[in-house]
Amino acid sequence: MRLLQQIRTLQDFGFELEETRPFVECLRSGRPAGDSCPASVAVYRRKLGELDALIGELSAVRERVGARLARAEEAMAGLAADAGAAPGGPEPRCELSDVRGVPR
């Protein structure tokens, strides 16, 4: 029962089945917990490294998307000012939209 619970918990954390092996072996060796062996701790460290790398990549993407959003909002504000539209007023229609604002 402890083996199954350990595997499920690790999989809930995003561990692949193969990555659970050291934890299972640790429990089978008689240890009270699957993460009380050096091999299990090494898997935790490796997984944290992977997560840190993913967080770094996602942070970089978020920064780029945020910059694009800021440029797009500035451009929209500039277009509205050029068209004499009041802030918060209706958005300019695309040339490819019909009178109702529906794309053709």
Q: Which residues contact 87 (CB under 8 A, 6 or more apart)?
A: 77, 80
18-57 residue pLDDT tens = 999 999 999 999 998 999 999 999 999 999 999 999 999 9
Residue 101 has pLDDT above 90, yes or no: no
The pair phi, psi for residue 88, each rounded to 5°, is 85, 0
Distance CA(68)–CA(27), nearest Å, equals: 50
7 close to 20: Cβ distance less than 8 angstroms: yes
- pLDDT tens for each residue of 90-99: 666 667 766 6
Chain-centre distance for alpha carbon 42? 24
